[in-house]
Amino acid sequence: MTSLTAVRDRELNVLESAQRVVESALRQLGYGPEYVELLKEPLRMLTVRFPVRMDDGSVRVFTGYRAQHNDAVGPTKGGVRFHPDVTAEEIQALSLWMTIKCGIHGLPYGGGKGGVVCDPRTMSAAELERLSRAYVRAISQIVGPTKDVPAPDVFTNAQIMAWMLDEYSHLREFDSPSFITGKPRAIGGSAGRETATARGVALCVEEAARRRGLSLAGARVIVQGFGNAGSYLAQFMHEAGARVVGISDAYGALYHPDGLPVPELLAARDSFGTVTTRYSNTITNAELLEQPCDILVPAAIENQITADNAHRIQASIVVEAANGPTTLEATRILTQRGVLLVPDVLANSGGVTVSYFEWVQNNQGLYWPEEEVAEKLRSTMLSSFDKVYRMAEEHGVDMRLAAYMVGMERTAEAMHYRGWL
């Protein structure tokens, strides 16, 4: 039987859910309704349509977006996703989350996000290059190293960042490596950016386990999703001595209580993180989430843990590597059940943190060794984890609301000092 709560839960889309938490966070912090009004949607949202020549000679018209949530603190910052399910609302919600991520760590940015409705899994490299360049041309008026700085996200990678940078440099007629982050190192990328999101998640897993008195050695971990975040995270958990008992991709999941052969799975995955299609004894993604484990890391897509399955989650720690994998009602249920939930805006913010380091290195023309990047990431993540944890305890709120409170405060203050509100 479906409860009324479950029905209500499903009806909230990602943007509405984010807006609700923003409203509660600003109210808790004592800011008035005008702050909520301005922060609930991006300041700017550009929709573009552009033609791309396909390999067979035909022309397809694609739709893309770039949202700039808030630039009171500094230029906007955030990834570009290439995915068939991209919508305007999703990009707006993702840009809002970027404001919070940057705010949590005190990075000198507001949030931005972009996306193109397309399926790179069905496109050739040449088509993807033409699409990437066309997207940059379409949004070029509103982006730039001191305006809005893109980066990788779902189904975009360092090669795509390189094409985008090249296109931008041609348009602006100067070399501008800090226009975009997540680049290959040969053209100004930072050491450690490729694995930064997963490293940040791993640090949150370690810290959550420490606070719960759980030893990571031998702990059972399920990772849903095997893309950039999920696959490197499985590797780091395996290296830390945890038992990775479950993993999944878009097509199915693998679970074994004794642990999975992580190195073998990593070697077998394709560039989109697909690996389960090589195995016959798979279960579904939904089934995977409910399998026995100590730590669950949703690293795939939105709305995976809902009011329908939150009661059946067996993990005592949930760390969100994906953006928006847990609905608000599910957050309430998990928190009430005593599960320690580390929210996306904190857990997956290692990516944007090292993007910031990349931008700083580009601006100063001085590059740091990998150990320095790793150490700076570690201290940033751990001190922010502590801030959010303390905020939750002091105000008696869940970790998600606490993260929004920490993340929103600086933007609200910046808008006030600028005289906007």
Give the catalytic positions in this structure.
Answer: 113
Single residue of 104, 151, 244, 342 touching ligand GLU by CB under 6 A: 151
Single residue of 40, 77, 83, 105 touching ligand GLU by CB under 6 A: 77
Own/partner long-range contacts of 375-383 (Cβ < 8 Å, ≥24 apart): 377/192, 377/196, 377/199, 377/200, 377/203, 377/350, 377/353, 378/203, 380/105, 380/353, 381/200, 381/203, 381/204, 381/207, 381/349, 381/350, 381/353, 382/203, 382/207
Closest alpha carbon to 53 in 128, 116, 139, 119: 128
302 binds ligand GLU (CB under 6 A): no
Piece of 32-40, 140-148, 163-171, 345-353 that binds ligand GLU (CB under 6 A): 345-353
112 or 252, CB closer to ligand GLU?
Answer: 112
181 binds ligand GLU (CB under 6 A): yes
In the Cβ-directed half-sphere of 219, how many Cα atoms lie within 13 Å? Answer: 25
361 binds ligand GLU (CB under 6 A): no
Coil/strand/helix, residue 209: helix
9 binds ligand GLU (CB under 6 A): no
355 or 362, CB closer to ligand GLU?
Answer: 355
79 binds ligand GLU (CB under 6 A): yes
Kindly state the smallest distance separating residue 153's Cβ from ligand GLU, in Å: 4
Longest dimension (CA), the chain: 62
Piece of 49-57, 250-258, 292-300, 344-352 that binds ligand GLU (CB under 6 A): 344-352
352 binds ligand GLU (CB under 6 A): yes
Kindly state the smallest distance separating residue 323's Cβ from ligand GLU, in Å: 6
Burial class (CB in 10 A: 0-12, 13-18, 19+), 35: buried
Kindly state the smallest distance separating residue 53's Cβ from ligand GLU, in Å: 28
Binding to ligand GLU in span 312-341, by CB under 6 A: 323
| Amino acid identity at 187 | I
Element (H, E) at 319: strand 317-319
Tokens of 283: 């279960």
Binding to ligand GLU in span 83-112, by CB under 6 A: 101
Kindly state the smallest distance separating residue 162's Cβ from ligand GLU, in Å: 15
Distance (Å, rounded) from C-alpha 232 to C-alpha 215? Answer: 20
CB-CB neighbours of 175 under 10 Å = 11
Piece of 28-36, 77-85, 166-174, 261-269 that binds ligand GLU (CB under 6 A): 77-85
153 binds ligand GLU (CB under 6 A): yes
76 binds ligand GLU (CB under 6 A): no
Piece of 50-58, 76-84, 265-273, 302-310 that binds ligand GLU (CB under 6 A): 76-84
From residue 369, give the alpha-carbon distance in Å to each of 23, 362, 375: 41, 14, 10
231 binds ligand GLU (CB under 6 A): no
Distance (Å, rounded) from C-alpha 101 to C-alpha 346? Answer: 6
Give the contacts of 413 (CB within 8 A, at least 6 positions apart). none
229 or 242, CB closer to ligand GLU?
Answer: 229
Rule CB under 6 A: which residues touch ligand GLU?
A: 77-79, 101, 151, 153, 181-182, 323, 348, 351-352, 355
